Amino acid sequence: MYEITLTVHSLLRLAALVLVGIAFLRAAQGAFAGRMFTNGDRQAALVATIALDLQLLVGLILHFALSPVTQNAMSNMGAAMKDPELRRWTVEHPTLMLVAIVVVHVGSALRKRCESDGLRHRWSAITLGAALALILIGMPWPGGENARPFVRF
């Protein structure tokens, strides 16, 4: 069950990255071009938010129920904080991802309150861009210090 859920989390990561990237590019292009905020812009941001919410759900299941790494770390948090890899997966990765998702939801709330299309695009671009940066910082990269495969099958 752990391996299947980890594979789903890995594949969903790619989908979430692509969807957040597309929504960010649409928002940035709309802000710079000064075009109207369309239903397509709203839907792109909404689908990206849904993908991140699904990724959060799968991540929480892994973190609290299935992952032997976090279960081991939570049994002795003092030792886990001294081990860079355990600290990464127990504290740093989930914190960065949670902050990214909160930023996307804050952006959604701010966008709904804007009265002009330009502000909607700007808030979308700022919050989606910040979330994308947090996700890229917090995710595992092949060849990195806490290397993981980019995609698991």
Q: Taking Cα atoms as reference points, which of 134, 132, 127 lies closest to residue 99?
A: 134
Give 93-145 pLDDT, tens digit per residue: 999 999 999 999 999 999 999 999 999 999 999 999 999 999 999 988 776 66
Helix (H, G, I), strand (E, B) or coil at 117: helix
DSSP letter assigned to residue 92: I
Question: End-to-end distance of the chain based on CA atoms, in angstroms?
Answer: 14
Residue 5 has pLDDT above 70, yes or no: yes
What pLDDT score was predicted for residue 41?
A: 96
Q: What is the pTM of this model?
A: 0.89
% of the chain beyond a pLDDT of 70:
92
Per-residue pLDDT at 85:
85
Residue found under tokens 């890899």: 85
Least-confidence region, from 32-41, 70-79, 125-134: 70-79
The predicted structure's pLDDT at residue 149: 64
Dist. CA 82–CA 126, nearest whole Å: 35
